[in-house]
Amino acid sequence: MSPRTDAPLWGPATVAGAGSGRGPRELTPGAAVELLGVSRWYGNVVAVNDISFTLGTGVTGLLGPNGAGKSTILHMLAGLLQPSDGVVAIHGTPSWRNPAVYRDLGLVPERESVHSFLTGFEFTLLNARLQRLPDPDAAARRAIATVGLTDAADRAVGTYSKGMRQRVKIAGALVHDPSILLLDEPFNGMDPRQRLQMMELLGKMADEGRVILFSSHILEEVERLAQDVLVIVSGRLAASGDFREIRRLMTDRPHTFTIHSSDDRRLAASLVGHPSVYGVQLDGGRLAVRTSDYAGFARALPALARACAVSILELRPTDEDLESVFGYLVQR
Amino acid sequence: MSDPVANGPGPTAGRGPARSGPVIVTIAALTARSLLGRRRSLLLALLALLPVAIAILVQLSGRAGTGRLEVSTAIMDRLIVATILPIIALVFGTAALGAELEDGTAVFLLVKPIDRWRIVVAKLIVAVGLSVALVAPASFIAGAILAPGGTGLAGAVGAAVGTAVGATVYATVFFALSLVTGRALAIGLVYILVWEGVLAGLLEGIRTLSIRQYTLAISAAIAHPGVTDPALLDARTALALAAIAVIGATVIAIRRLAAFEIGQGDD
């Protein structure tokens, strides 16, 4: 991705001159992949809401909880869904109803989408032929080798493991050597070793100058692989930019803990005075504490409890699920 | 082309000129393999052989006269034209592309630099071809054995040509239906049973909208040249209506695929 320096890193999706639905909108010259003011709705349900971004070479992670609209964005990029509003462009050309874009684009869908009776090689060869490559046989063999399936190339896809199926889909998607590769949840169902191999493969392809966009709902996957990240929550672009910056904001966000102790009331009185705490609530025998300084609070709590002679029986973070992390980013 | 990865992106480097022929052949070969590789195609073949088997049994039992004519009509019209023919065309017509769009196996075809009409044409040829290949020979053999109305070989040829036309129209219409709705199989069955099976026989006015009537009219015209049956459509009208149905359904299928949108999915 090429984070625009003239646009803020945070807040609703912004494009120079685009605003949120008003003002002139123009595609960025030279952008390999661009969404400009794109929305998509199904009846009354808004799946994607006024999203704009451009992608450059390297790996970009499309991060968000399930149902956030990640697949909708990837499908619009791949010309398999029509944007309800805005423009989705590949090399400056709209991808909807334009099969020519597939000369330089590969899509790895999430679903099991390969005829199980085909062998891995046959499937890859079909992709090469349908791309009208001059030497489909050689291209298929190279793509199979790239994803490390040479030994299993002559076995039916129906006998493959989940990770192998994922890889044969990638072989089919890169057989024509596209500069843009879109992958929908490529790590789903893979074991740790397969994940690692896949990450190495995608990293290698990005180093060769490709534009790679993959979706994931798992923070750690994106963190390990992507230089840039687009955070999608409820169809909106909640954050975009360098991953480390987003990670820092995620760590520094307010945390809420639920404490169960020998004397909640006394502990609450003691906690209120500490600078790392900005909210204390006693609710039905439960003590909820809000803190903006995660590390400071973690250090202070044992000492405070000891000082007021209260035993802590249970300490639990209440909002560590991904949805609340994303929710926080959206509110900013 | 050189190594797809080691040399980095080179989208169109070394690409050959656009050749539609091989691409259509590639898609058609895959479709045929997909349709024939399944157990259901064996069941359909057995279904197509059923009227032949019954015709042989009738022949061996040695019935003759008016009873023979009734049996012949029962097999040729009600069993083959009204039931087996549309069911075989329904299965092939809806499986060739509609089912693949539903289960996701057609996605890799769609994300290729191929005009969508080529995909429709390639798959349609296979759906129609397989339907005709199963139905027309079976009705030829059954017709030759039964010789409906004492027409001899002409009756058999008429049955084969008529059912070939019928299979073409049915398969094309059901193919288009499978691109319009995800419930093509159920809707197609209702159409076969209710519209073609009951209404088109009762109401004379809708004969022109009945593929079964096209089939019967063309068969009769070849079996009994020069004879006009007031209960049947004129053969030329039937042929023209069949052509309109095929062209119309093909155009609908191409338009639907060009604007195909993938399911909402569970992102």
AA identity, residue A229: V
| pLDDT for res A17 | 35
In this predicted structure, the answer to whether residue A40 has a pLDDT above a threshold of 60 is yes
In this predicted structure, the answer to whether residue B38 has a pLDDT above a threshold of 90 is no
| pLDDT for res A252 | 67
Tell me if A170 is assigned to some domain: no
**In this complex, do A82 and B259 lie within 8 Å of one another by their Cβ atoms?**
yes
Whether A200 and A315 share a structural domain: no
Q: What is the per-residue pLDDT across A237-286, written as a single tens digit (0 to 9) for each?
A: 988 888 777 777 766 667 788 888 899 989 999 898 888 888 898 877 78
Rg (CA), chain B: 21
Whether A95 and A195 share a structural domain: yes
DSSP label at B262? -
Tell me if B137 is assigned to some domain: yes
B119 neighbourhood in chain A, CB within 8 Å:
none
Give DSSP secondary structure letters for A105-129.
EEEE-SS--S-TTSBHHHHHHHHHH
**In this complex, do A209 and B8 lie within 8 Å of one another by their Cβ atoms?**
yes
Grade residue A125 by pLDDT with cuts at 50, 70 and 90: very high
- Residue numbers of B between 224 and 263 with CB closer than 8 Å to A: 258-262
| pLDDT for res A317 | 75
Among the partner-chain residues A80, A126, A209, the one whose CB lies closest to the CB of B262 is A80
| Nearest Cα residue to B98 out of B222, B184, B201 | B184
Grade residue B114 by pLDDT with cuts at 50, 70 and 90: very high
Tell me if B219 is assigned to some domain: yes
3-class DSSP assignment, residue A265: helix
8 Å CB contact between A147 and A167: yes
| Nearest Cα residue to A135 out of B111, B13, B25, B7 | B13
Question: What is the extent of the structural domain holding A312?
Answer: 254-331
Q: Which helix (H) or strand (E) covers residue B257, if one does?
A: helix B235-258
Grade residue A203 by pLDDT with cuts at 50, 70 and 90: very high
Tell me if A279 is assigned to some domain: yes
Q: What is the per-residue pLDDT across A12-37, written as a single tens digit (0 to 9) for each?
A: 333 333 344 444 578 999 899 999 99
| pLDDT for res B171 | 98
Q: What is the ipTM of this complex?
A: 0.88
Grade residue A7 by pLDDT with cuts at 50, 70 and 90: very low
Q: What is the per-residue pLDDT across A57-76, written as a single tens digit (0 to 9) for each?
A: 999 999 988 889 999 999 99
Who contacts B156 (Cβ-Cβ below 8 Å, separation ≥6)? B139, B140, B141, B143, B144, B147
Among the partner-chain residues A68, A99, A123, the one whose CB lies closest to the CB of B113 is A99
Tell me if A228 is assigned to some domain: yes
| pLDDT for res A191 | 83
Whether A259 and A241 share a structural domain: no
Pairwise CA distance, residues B22 & B221, whole Å:
39
Q: How many domains does chain A have?
A: 2
A178 neighbourhood in chain B, CB within 8 Å:
9, 11
| pLDDT for res B39 | 84
In this predicted structure, the answer to whether residue A53 has a pLDDT above a threshold of 50 is yes
| Nearest Cα residue to A99 out of A125, A124, A131, A72 | A131
Tell me if B5 is assigned to some domain: no
Grade residue B13 by pLDDT with cuts at 50, 70 and 90: very low
Final residue before a domain boundary, out of A196, A219, A250: A250
Rounded to a whole number of angstroms, the distance from the CA of B168 to the nearest CA of chain A is 26
Q: How many Cβ atoms from other residues are within 10 Å of residue A132's Cβ?
A: 21
A interface test, pick of B108, B115, B118 with most A CB neighbours within 10 Å: B108
- Strand order from edge to edge, sheet including A33-42: A45-55, A33-42, A85-90, A93-94
In this predicted structure, the answer to whether residue B6 has a pLDDT above a threshold of 50 is no
Among the partner-chain residues A102, A110, A177, the one whose CB lies closest to the CB of B4 is A177
| A60 or A113, higher pLDDT | A60
| A252 or B157, higher pLDDT | B157
Among the partner-chain residues A81, A139, A208, the one whose CB lies closest to the CB of B261 is A81
Maximum separation of any 2 CA atoms in chain B, in Å: 79
Final residue before a domain boundary, out of A202, A230, A250: A250
| pLDDT for res B117 | 97
| pLDDT for res A65 | 85
Grade residue B9 by pLDDT with cuts at 50, 70 and 90: very low
Question: What is the extent of the structural domain holding B159?
Answer: 20-258
In this predicted structure, the answer to whether residue B7 has a pLDDT above a threshold of 90 is no
**In this complex, do A103 and B5 lie within 8 Å of one another by their Cβ atoms?**
no
Among the partner-chain residues B19, B27, B264, the one whose CB lies closest to the CB of A42 is B264
Rounded to a whole number of angstroms, the distance from the CA of B27 to the nearest CA of chain A is 8
Query: A233: nearest CA in chain B?
Result: B267
Which pTM does this prediction carry?
A: 0.82
**In this complex, do A132 and B15 lie within 8 Å of one another by their Cβ atoms?**
yes
Q: Which two tokens stand for residue B163?
A: 């059912």
Residue A192's CATH number = 3.40.50.300
Tell me if B4 is assigned to some domain: no
Rounded to a whole number of angstroms, the distance from the CA of B6 to the nearest CA of chain A is 8
8 Å CB contact between A231 and A240: yes
Flag whether residue B205 sits within 8 Å of chain A, measured between CB atoms: no
Tell me if A148 is assigned to some domain: no
Tell me if A308 is assigned to some domain: yes
Give the mean pLDDT of chain A.
Answer: 86
Give the mean pLDDT of chain B.
Answer: 87
Helices B116-146 and B20-36: crossing angle in degrees, nearest 10, is 50
A47 neighbourhood in chain B, CB within 8 Å:
264
A138 neighbourhood in chain B, CB within 8 Å:
1
Give DSSP secondary structure letters for A172-183.
HHHTT--SEEEE
Tell me if A314 is assigned to some domain: yes
DSSP label at B200? H
Final residue before a domain boundary, out of A250, A278, A293: A250
Flag whether residue B25 sits within 8 Å of chain A, measured between CB atoms: no
DSSP label at B18? P
| pLDDT for res B10 | 42
What pairs with residue A314 in β-bridges? A260
Q: What is the per-residue pLDDT across B176-234, written as a single tens digit (0 to 9) for each?
A: 999 999 999 999 999 999 998 888 777 777 888 999 999 999 999 999 888 888 888 99
Tell me if A212 is assigned to some domain: yes
Among the partner-chain residues B6, B11, B26, the one whose CB lies closest to the CB of A130 is B26
B261 neighbourhood in chain A, CB within 8 Å:
80-82
**In this complex, do B1 and A78 lie within 8 Å of one another by their Cβ atoms?**
no
**Among A150-159, B16-25, B44-53, the least confident range:** B16-25
Residue A296's CATH number = 3.30.70.100
Whether A190 and A311 share a structural domain: no
- Residue numbers of B between 48 and 107 with CB closer than 8 Å to A: 103-105, 107
Whether A69 and A81 share a structural domain: yes
Q: How many domains does chain B have?
A: 1
What number of C-beta contacts closer than 8 Å exist between A and B? Answer: 148
Among the partner-chain residues B22, B104, B112, the one whose CB lies closest to the CB of A99 is B112
Grade residue B149 by pLDDT with cuts at 50, 70 and 90: low
Whether A104 and A211 share a structural domain: yes
Q: How far lies B66's CA from each of A170, A189, B220, B223, in Å?
A: 66, 67, 18, 18
